[in-house]
Amino acid sequence: MIELDFANMMTDIIGENGLSERQVEALKPAAAKAHEEIASREKPGLAFMDLVKQDTSAIKDAAREIRNDSESFLILGIGGSALGPKTILEAMSPMHNLRKTPRVFIYDNVDPVTFENVLSLIDLDKTTVNVITKSGSTAETMSSFMVLYEKLKGRSGKVVATTDPEKGYLRQIAEADGFSKTLPIPPDVGGRYSVLCPVGLLLAEVAGVDCDELLAGAARMQERCSDPEPWKNPAYLYGSMLYLMDKEEKRNITVMVPYSDRLRPLAEWFCQLWSESLGKLGMGSTPYPSIGATDQHSQMQLWMEGPQDKVVTFIRVEDHGADITIPRVFKDTGVAYLGGHSLGELFNAEEEATELALATAGRPNMTLKVPKVDAAHMGELFYFFEIATAYTGFLYGINPFNQPSVEMSKNFTYGMMGRDGYEAQREEVEKARGRVTCWRL
Amino acid sequence: MIELDFANMMTDIIGENGLSERQVEALKPAAAKAHEEIASREKPGLAFMDLVKQDTSAIKDAAREIRNDSESFLILGIGGSALGPKTILEAMSPMHNLRKTPRVFIYDNVDPVTFENVLSLIDLDKTTVNVITKSGSTAETMSSFMVLYEKLKGRSGKVVATTDPEKGYLRQIAEADGFSKTLPIPPDVGGRYSVLCPVGLLLAEVAGVDCDELLAGAARMQERCSDPEPWKNPAYLYGSMLYLMDKEEKRNITVMVPYSDRLRPLAEWFCQLWSESLGKLGMGSTPYPSIGATDQHSQMQLWMEGPQDKVVTFIRVEDHGADITIPRVFKDTGVAYLGGHSLGELFNAEEEATELALATAGRPNMTLKVPKVDAAHMGELFYFFEIATAYTGFLYGINPFNQPSVEMSKNFTYGMMGRDGYEAQREEVEKARGRVTCWRL
């Protein structure tokens, strides 16, 4: 069971930079309203809560076929459509492509160099392409799919389209076209809340992970996070504290530091979830992806002595599942003290030391203690962060399920790419191009 | 030649959230002092400026031998000792291990799972281990080196120690031990300013990059950044603007967004450089690593509509060196407009669109325009950010070359690991362990 240790958030422990119990108490009316939003299920985006009880048989069948037929599994997706699969892959099968098959490539950009490199590494007769976009209009994903669609003609490689079950261009293409197998992104499940639908689960099964275990973990966390009372609900308490630290204590940065290489992408996944859900109407703290112990040699100076603008969340893994003893060598040097300990021991000691150092310096931090990195605990973590984010969105009084402000950039791109109806945007780009040349160095 | 476009930082273009020319003018006395600090070379950490004229023959010889003898090249290092090599590798040889030999592993943590995976992938008879730590006391690096040192006994794998030329435990071990070849980290070159010394250059040569080209690029940028006048010195202007945005405009987050997968680690490298150099005495903006176009689907909502607390730096690559045309397929759908364009065109259109969208929303941003990603331009970028960071440190009035606040966490770790002299820290840890159990959920 994952445990949330929030001692180092409280004034009792870290002094004046902490939160008082009274602050959390005072938030209770807002917390009750936020809970009501969640419990009533009126906002469409809350459909991610139903994913724990989905039927996974079609996913398992598709994955079995891919494992049997394909040397390579190539995901085309961006945002949640890439971060979910990437997080599962790295957590459950680190260094996958050097160790296992089918090899997995997650192409999550429009960088032609990366795409050429991927193409040079796969045999299109033995590749399954998994194109993931709910709307079917995502320019990055669809442009690379268009390239592959053309290249796959006359080859025995396959396509699985993960998209809206009824609407959108990709659904339209899939239905018009013989070769496409499809999996649904359920209605009202947004990209950043989609890891536990076929978006993430197909990859999980292809990489040899039982996706039902992911869902079982998520279900367990759902049960734990159903209490309306923040003091009894870890996700609500977590969200409440980050909210209070941002709104009342002016800490606008929330750092996420797993002490496990396998959880590095989890921090990125969380950052997308938090940023896109909460960054609205001038509000939203900025989530920062980090990695321990590595970033003790990169970010920690700033956390310890920089501005008082951060809250740090550690993710500590109790049992890494492997360990290596440090031999008693170099006895005449100052590193002799390391001999006889293990790497895992040093790793977790550094995590604990960093918590304590921050607390001692009056810098608020929390720790999620994860027994081990397996499918069930990954499911717990995904659900924990999703429900905490939705709850925090309701505290801010914003809609945690839309992303209205990404449109302007898309529209300028459409203008440059000559899409009909975006002539005005094209003109604006032209004007800007003329304007800026005098300001260069 | 790299170009800095700062139009979207100025009030003339983006309105009241921008900087005025007057603000930059008013900074001139402080800028002159900062320049004097740099030009006088009194601060020891400025030795990185001399790296452009180093003799690289020993590095080239060592690399030639490694390329001939080794299937795998394993770097042990953390902080700058890992980020420098990682940045060069990904920029110059992306997806290296799937495409080229010797395979390169950069072990930059103490995660036993990662270490076991690396060990399972290398043949110790055909591996060169490059252990990098200036002091030789870095616990993470030395603990994994101790493991490998023991495992290499009786095997034909080799060690290259990159460390202080005279002092420290690793130097002591290297000199007591027959098998070690060593390369120097010059005195007064700190870890985060070390990419252009043997720390990064050996990896460069092993990966087939002419390290003299890196240095030639850096030398070119040094020349361009020698003018005391901020309006004529791109690094000074860059630092001045980020400083003003932090101190006078309360923008405490500086986002770095390369639009090139190959430059993803460059953003991380910059974040270490900026964080550890400037995060002092309650000051220092927080550098945020990002990647375009991917993070348009992850962070952009927050940049566009979240709090007014950020400045964004784009890195735009003019010529990606490869491109792929999008075929004219799916003509009856809403993505037909993409057909006939190329991925590179879409990529750069998205970058330009995002600049303009931010500017239109009154969100300050700058762009570094890089003609192409090659060794010389990487050298330019490294030097640009290093000198900009040092300069900005002097503007803040802090020492950009130390990192005093990482000691406390180290000392707690020493206590837990039983190092002599750290008994008091051990006791503090024990006390904290007793204390926190009442605050868990």
B138 lies in the same domain as B227: no
B118 lies in the same domain as B227: no
Angular region, B417: left φ>0, alpha ψ -120 to 50, beta rest: alpha
B80 within domain boundaries: yes
Among A166, A363, A351, which Cα is nearest to A257's? Answer: A351
Q: Number of C-alpha atoms within 13 angstroms, CB side, residue B374?
A: 13
Looking at residue B188, its pLDDT comes to 94
Catalytic residue at B35? no
A232 lies in the same domain as A351: yes
Q: What is the pLDDT of residues A393-424, one digit of tens each?
A: 999 999 999 999 999 999 999 999 999 999 99
Catalytic residue at A320? no
Q: Which residues of B touch A337 (CB under 8 A)?
A: 414, 417-420
Q: Report strand pairing: A365-372 vs A3-5.
A: antiparallel
Looking at residue A378, its pLDDT comes to 98
How many other CB atoms are there within 10 angstroms of residue B434's CB atom? 8
For chain B, what percent of residues have pLDDT higher than 70? 98
Question: Chain B within 8 Å of A410 (Cβ-Cβ)?
Answer: yes
- Measure the CA–CA gap between B10 and B17, rounded to whole angstroms: 8
SS (H, E, C) chain B: CCEEECHHHEHHHHHHHCECHHHHHHCHHHHHHHHHHHHHCCCHHHHHHHHHHCCCHHHHHHHHHHHHHCCEEEEECCCHHHHHHHHHHHHHCCCHHHHCCCEEEEECCCCHHHHHHHHHHCCHHHEEEEEECCCCCCHHHHHHHHHHHHHHCCCCCEEEEEECCCCCHHHHHHHHCCCEEEEECCCCCCHHHCCCCHHHHHHHHHCCCCHHHHHHHHHHHHHHCCCCCHHHCHHHHHHHHHHHHHHCCCCCEEEEEEECHHHHHHHHHHHHHHHHHHCCCCCCCEEEECCCCHHHHCCHHHHHHCCCCEEEEEEEECCCCCCCECCCCCCCCCCHHHCCCEHHHHHHHHHHHHHHHHHHCCCCEEEEEECCCCHHHHHHHHHHHHHHHHHHHHHHCCCCCCCHHHHHHHHHHHHHCCCCCCHHHHHHHHHHHHHHHHHEC
A176 lies in the same domain as A223: no
Tell me the residue range of the domain where B90 lies: 49-209
**Average pLDDT of A42-53?**
95
SS (H, E, C) A195-221: CCCHHHHHHHHHCCCCHHHHHHHHHHH
CB-based contacts of A200: which residues, under 8 Å, 6+ apart? A84, A85, A87, A88, A194, A214
B434 within domain boundaries: no
Looking at residue B438, its pLDDT comes to 47
**CATH number (domain holding residue A64):** 3.40.50.10490
Q: In this structure, are residues A214 and A375 in contact, taking their beta carbons and an 8 Å threshold?
A: yes
Of B190, B209, B228, the residue that ends a domain is B209
A436 within domain boundaries: no
Tell me how many domains chain A contains: 2
Q: A279 to chain B, minimum CA–CA distance in Å?
A: 4
B30 within domain boundaries: yes
Question: Chain B within 8 Å of A265 (Cβ-Cβ)?
Answer: no
Segment 35-64 of chain A within 8 Å of chain B by CB? none
B89 within domain boundaries: yes
Looking at residue B4, its pLDDT comes to 94
Q: Which residues of A touch B78 (CB under 8 A)?
A: 293-294, 297
Q: Which residues of A touch B150 (CB under 8 A)?
A: 327, 329
Side-by-side strand order, sheet with A365-372: A3-5, A365-372, A310-319, A253-259, A286-289
Looking at residue A440, its pLDDT comes to 62
Looking at residue A433, its pLDDT comes to 86
Q: What is the CA radius of gyration of chain B?
A: 23
A250 lies in the same domain as A379: yes
Question: Chain A within 8 Å of B253 (Cβ-Cβ)?
Answer: yes
**Average pLDDT of A301-310?**
98
- Measure the CA–CA gap between B24 and A225, rounded to whole angstroms: 51
B275 within domain boundaries: yes
A34 lies in the same domain as A101: no
Q: B334 to chain A, minimum CA–CA distance in Å?
A: 7
Question: Chain A within 8 Å of B357 (Cβ-Cβ)?
Answer: yes
Mean pLDDT for all residues in chain B: 96
Amino acid in position A207: A
Q: Which of A41-55, A177-191, B23-37 has the lowest mean pLDDT?
A: A177-191
Looking at residue A74, its pLDDT comes to 98
Looking at residue A434, its pLDDT comes to 79
Question: Chain B within 8 Å of A323 (Cβ-Cβ)?
Answer: yes
- Measure the CA–CA gap between B225 and B35, rounded to whole angstroms: 10
Question: Chain A within 8 Å of B134 (Cβ-Cβ)?
Answer: no
Q: How far is CA B345 from the centre of its chain?
A: 28
For chain A, what percent of residues have pLDDT higher than 90? 95
Confidence bin at A291 (pLDDT 50/70/90): very high
Q: What is the pLDDT of residues B352-373, one digit of tens each?
A: 999 999 999 999 999 999 999 9
Of B176, B209, B242, the residue that ends a domain is B209
A15 lies in the same domain as A88: no
How many other CB atoms are there within 10 angstroms of residue A343's CB atom? 27
Query: CA angle B88-B317-B246, nearest 5°?
Result: 85
Distances (CA, A) of B12 to A173, A186, A260, B239: 47, 47, 47, 20
- Measure the CA–CA gap between B45 and B38, rounded to whole angstroms: 10
Q: Report strand pairing: A286-289 vs A180-184.
A: unpaired
Of B181, B209, B237, the residue that ends a domain is B209
Q: What is the pLDDT of residues A69-92, one digit of tens each?
A: 999 999 999 999 999 999 999 999
Q: What is the pLDDT of residues B308-349, one digit of tens each?
A: 999 999 999 999 999 999 999 999 999 999 999 999 999 999
A118 lies in the same domain as A18: no
Q: Report strand pairing: B310-317 vs B365-370.
A: parallel
Answer yes or no: is pLDDT of A180 > 80. no
Reading the block at residue A384, the tokens are: 């924990």
Query: CA angle B71-B77-B80, nearest 5°?
Result: 120
- B131, β-bridge pairs: B76, B161
B195 lies in the same domain as B278: no
B191 lies in the same domain as B235: no
Q: Which residues of B touch A417 (CB under 8 A)?
A: 337-338, 341, 345-346, 349
Rounded to 10°, the helix B57-69/B198-206 angle is 40
A272 lies in the same domain as A355: yes
A224 lies in the same domain as A123: no
Q: A169 to chain B, minimum CA–CA distance in Å?
A: 6
Q: Which residue of B has its CA nearest to A251?
A: B252
- A370, β-bridge pairs: A317
Mean pLDDT for all residues in chain A: 96
Angular region, B188: left φ>0, alpha ψ -120 to 50, beta rest: left
Answer yes or no: is pLDDT of B196 > 70. yes
Answer yes or no: is pLDDT of A188 > 70. yes
For chain B, what percent of residues have pLDDT higher than 90? 95
A412 within domain boundaries: no
For B86-112, b/e burial (b = at least 16 CB within 10 A) is: bbbbbbbbbbbbeeeebbbbbbbbbbb
Residue B323: burial class (beta carbons within 10 Å; 0-12, 13-18, 19+): middle
Reading the block at residue B356, the tokens are: 């303009």
Confidence bin at B436 (pLDDT 50/70/90): low
A414 within domain boundaries: no
Looking at residue B177, its pLDDT comes to 85
Answer yes or no: is pLDDT of A438 > 80. no
Q: How far is CA A30 from the centre of its chain?
A: 27
How many other CB atoms are there within 10 angstroms of residue A173's CB atom? 24
Residue A178: burial class (beta carbons within 10 Å; 0-12, 13-18, 19+): exposed
Catalytic residue at A310? no
